[in-house]
Amino acid sequence: MPDALAFDIIPVTPLQQNCTVLLCQATGAAALVDPGGDVEDIVATVQRHGARVEKIFLTHGHLDHVGATAPLKERYGVPVEGPHRDDAFWIEGLPMQAQMFGFPPLPTFTPDRWLEGGDTVRFGAVELAVRHCPGHTPGHVVFFHAASRLALVGDVLFAGSIGRTDLPRGNHADLLRSIPEQLWPLGDDVRFIPGHG
């Protein structure tokens, strides 16, 4: 199958956020989803798979999901896609986020492509659908690979729970609307990779 997808999950940062290395089995291409930190662990995982990083995909702008984006973008020379533009304030505020949560200073960056619901992202021979799921943050997106029935949901869902909405511009009502509107239609056979757990 040309768009066969494999993945490897790396818990990163003291918050143990799941950075996912997506692997296109047909081409050896890889995409990094939510590289929050621990750059050398991410690089070692990519090397272990003998993969070639082509893109970085971001579900939302919280530091534990984007903190290593700038150094990895520089290292691999690849574009950053996502999240939705409504999370620009989070990315622009990375230095403040780092200070607020006691992280070392983090460089900010500008995504090469902001995403909208209904967009697609590609690497290698793999295509993922983008679903805009505001609530945890206003610009949160989910990536769905139909062929493998796999959704990377960031912090929309946690293992056994839903994402928190008590951080700036989080909205509980939006999250409760996003889940049935954007995730339920994917079907009961979908596997979810949450941002934590």
Q: What is the pLDDT of residues 30-50, one digit of tens each?
A: 999 999 999 999 999 999 999
User: Residue 71: what pLDDT?
Assistant: 98
pTM here? Answer: 0.96
The span from the first CA to the last CA of the chain, in angstroms, equals 30
Residue 24 CA to residue 13 CA, distance in Å, equals: 26
Q: Was domain 5-194 assigned CATH 3.60.15.10?
A: yes
Residue 114 CA to residue 83 CA, distance in Å, equals: 6
Tell me which residues of the chain have a pLDDT lower than 70. Answer: 1-3
User: Residue 15: what pLDDT?
Assistant: 86
User: Residue 2: what pLDDT?
Assistant: 65
